[in-house]
Amino acid sequence: MKVKIANTQSDFFQIVRIRAEVFIREQNVDSEIEMDEKDDTAIHCLATFNNQPAGCLRILLHDNEAIVGRVAVLKKYRRHHIGKAMMNYVETLPEVQKRGKITVHAQLTAKDFYLHCGFHEISDIYLEAGIQHVSMEKNLA
């Protein structure tokens, strides 16, 4: 398994493919909102498993936090700890470390995953793209 910052056209093609499969096809997120203007300035990460694209996420950098979102793992690669590897990788990035905090808008079904990654809840449940979410954060200090 390998996680890296996406930096080629091929990487971005794979990320779009993964996000379309997970969010649009599996979760019925409207394609009009899945890809947005934030993608233009985000840091995108791509995970591979046996040299095959398996997962992705994006990082939005703000003054005092890094917001991780669009975390997706293709169904056939779930249960291989790819999500955990991606989150661990994010924590190693200097751009993230200097913010001191990571925030996620976690789908309620993924809350336990983020708890196991060291995050804690900071909000009540709310709807985002028609899916129940909870905001969570992790301090990196």
- How do residues 97-133 score in pLDDT, each as one tens digit? 999 999 999 999 999 999 999 999 999 999 999 999 9
CATH of the domain at 30: 3.40.630.30
Is residue 114 a part of any domain in this protein? no
As for how many domains the chain has, the answer is 1
CB neighbours of residue 134 within 10 Å: 20
Q: What is the largest CA-CA distance in the chain?
A: 39
Q: Is residue 130 part of a domain?
A: no
SS3 132: strand
117, part of any domain: no
Domain contains 140: no
Containing domain of residue 50, as a range? 2-102
> Considering the domain boundaries, does residue 133 fall inside one?
no
Beta strand pairing status for 2-5 and 66-73?
unpaired
Is residue 112 included in any domain, yes or no? no
**Which is it for the CA torsion 65, 118, 38, 9, positive or negative?**
positive
pLDDT digits (tens, 9 = 90+) for 10-61: 999 999 999 999 999 999 999 999 999 999 999 999 999 999 999 999 999 9
Two structure tokens written together for 24: 């649009």
**Residue 52 domain flag:** yes
Q: Is residue 127 part of a domain?
A: no
